[in-house]
Amino acid sequence: MKVQKIIVLLTFLLIGIHLSVSAQTYAYGNYTGNGVSKTITGLGFSPEAIIIKSNGAYEAVFTTANMAAGKTKQLGTGSVALITGEVTSLNADGFTVGAGDRANKVNVQYNWIAFNESTNIHVGTYTGTSADMTLTGCGFVPEAFLVCGDVASAHGDAGFITGYWVTNGNEGLLTRTTSTTAGINYINVWTADGWSIQNNTGVTPSNNGTNYYYIAFNESGTTIKENAYTPGNDGSDYAVTDPGFKPDFLIVKQQAATPMMRIASYADATDKSLFFTATAAATGHIKSMDAGAGFTVANLSANVRVANQEHIYFAMSGGTSLPVQMTSFDAAKEGRNVNLSWETASEINSDHFEILHSTDGVNFEALGSVQAKGTTNQKSDYSYVDENPSDGIHYYQLAEYDNDGANEKFRIIAVNINSKVNAITQLFPNPSSNNISMYYNSTTGGLYKLTITDIKGDALYFAHIPSMVGENRFKLTVEPYEEGTYFINLTDPSGTVSTIKVLKKN
């Protein structure tokens, strides 16, 4: 039974928050990293705050519009200052991520949630003092609160508030995002328009002179639910039906355990849960989101189903998901043709895919289009054939358009159609900011000469690489070079040269 308000575990926000049936206040989705720079569009608003977490072993990050441009906070590591290279900008209709592993490593899937200021969400900042402080301006009594500082000390660590572990209903405990316990005293009193912060010489985020950034939430209607459950010791999965709806975002926290989350945009969502620390997605925790009811936690989970122990949860429903969750895009030669294939995990209001083609990797033109599935939660496979392209390097890129015209572009693939059988066949990723995989075919094997030249023809790198008969792969890097155009030249033992263009992006 709920006897007190639960102030949400907000450092675990990763995806899908909607606090009002009548107004869009958040959007969520996922993308696959390209290791360079990537812009997500189609949110329908300019985000005030973003949280991103990979499916892999990279910690979650958090940024707000109040932070300096390009600054981000790590949510899984203590005593660190704000960092750069992750979320590089918040834009009019989305956001851009840089080349950092926490937000954009090549071929790693990332889940995100973006928040817009509204009557139920308030994003703000304050500067700590040496005394108790009162913050106002929320416009509501906060029921979810995430805060972090810009200093590399415990005073700046990210944390969340949960009102379920209060002393008398008015005092709140700050729980670190990396902590397994309820935390330390932080809130003196909740007010109708904000809260009062305790000054604490330990690690409370009211350190004199430190800049703090926060996001606060208000409960509204039936799209957000916070409560607690205590599973028994019967050795079975445990269904939590109290929310009364199927969440598209869920956080579960047992006081002595690491918190877990689950998000609707997770493309590989079968029995998968996420951490905020640098831990890969795991099975056997939040087992399912249940239509019209709530969720089910797995038996024997030490995080979300500890027998006879109280767990608090935070569930939300009604967020807006971006149209397409792309899981793969590939190209394969078959004779003189190039077969393009791609796969989506789910789609919402998607209209069509446009296949873009280029011979220089910079200037693309539409080659053709394929009708999309519209709205589906099932895996969808697509294909397109570029018939008999001319000799040379051909670049392909996908652009997805939804019904209202919003679009997103995906990674570029390079394919070599050439009479020279000893030739570079693919380069990935391209453009790149650092590491590249070069694929090439060899009919004889032997020692090949590799050079990287700039646009003036000056050699920047030279190496001899051993090759085997058949398809070969060689890893190289363009990280030391300035942004611009470069050429990778591969010379076979007979002296035949194969050249492919690569774009270096910072």
CATH number at residue 470: 2.60.40.10
Same domain, 457 and 389: no
Q: What is the pLDDT of residue 22?
A: 32
Q: Is 308 within a domain?
A: no
Q: Is 50 within a domain?
A: no
| d(C-alpha 71, C-alpha 490), whole Å | 40
Question: Tokens for 243?
Answer: 């929310």
| d(C-alpha 375, C-alpha 348), whole Å | 4
Q: Is 466 within a domain?
A: yes
> Is 0.85 surpassed by the pTM of this model?
no
Q: Are 144 and 243 in contact (CB under 8 A)?
A: no
| d(C-alpha 50, C-alpha 27), whole Å | 10
Domain containing 364 equals 324-416
Same domain, 450 and 489: yes
Same domain, 374 and 449: no
Which H helix or E strand runs over 102?
A: helix 101-104
Same domain, 360 and 398: yes
Looking only at the bridges linking them, the beta strands covering 172-176 and 184-191 are antiparallel
Q: Is 451 within a domain?
A: yes
Domain count across the chain: 2
Same domain, 329 and 363: yes
* C-alpha 407 chain-centroid distance: 18
Identify the DSSP state of 376: B
Q: What is the pLDDT of residue 166?
A: 41
Q: Is 370 within a domain?
A: yes
Same domain, 409 and 329: yes
In this prediction, the residues of the chain whose per-residue pLDDT falls under 50 are: 1-24, 165-173, 201-203, 267-268
In the chain, the largest separation of any two C-alpha atoms, in whole Å, equals: 82
Same domain, 407 and 331: yes
| d(C-alpha 412, C-alpha 167), whole Å | 56
Q: Are 47 and 116 in contact (CB under 8 A)?
A: yes
pLDDT, tens digit (0-9, with 9 covering 90-100), for 459-477: 999 999 999 888 788 888 8
Same domain, 407 and 456: no
Compute how many other C-beta atoms are within 10 angstroms of the C-beta atom of residue 222. 12
Task: Tell me phi and psi for residue 19, to 5 degrees.
Answer: -105, 5
How far CA 424 is from CA of 52, 377, 414, 428, in Å, comes to 36, 38, 9, 12
Q: What is the pLDDT of residue 168?
A: 35
Task: Tell me phi and psi for residue 242, to 5 degrees.
Answer: -60, -35
| d(C-alpha 57, C-alpha 76), whole Å | 11
From 364, 390, 416, the end of a domain falls on 416
E strand spans, 298-456: 311-316, 320-321, 324-334, 337-347, 350-358, 365-371, 380-386, 392-402, 407-417, 423-428, 435-442, 446-454
Q: What is the pLDDT of residue 404?
A: 74
pLDDT, tens digit (0-9, with 9 covering 90-100), for 197-246: 877 644 456 778 889 999 888 776 577 777 889 999 888 999 999 888 88
**HEC secondary structure over 415-453:** EEECCCCCEEEEEECCCECCEEEEEEEECCCEEEEEEEE
Same domain, 442 and 481: yes
Q: Are 397 and 356 in contact (CB under 8 A)?
A: yes
From 362, 381, 416, the end of a domain falls on 416
Q: What is the per-residue burial (b if ≥16 Cβ within 10 Å, else e) of 347-365?
A: bbbbbebbbbbbeebeebe
Same domain, 408 and 461: no
Q: What is the pLDDT of residue 13?
A: 30
Spell out the alpha helix ranges (H) of 204-360.
Answer: none
Q: Is 39 within a domain?
A: no
pLDDT, tens digit (0-9, with 9 covering 90-100), for 385-397: 999 898 877 888 8
110: left (phi over 0), alpha (psi -120 to 50) or beta: beta
Q: Is 401 within a domain?
A: yes
Q: Is 153 within a domain?
A: no
From 365, 389, 416, the end of a domain falls on 416
Task: Tell me phi and psi for residue 191, to 5 degrees.
Answer: -120, 175
Strand order in the sheet with 392-402: 365-371, 350-358, 392-402, 407-417
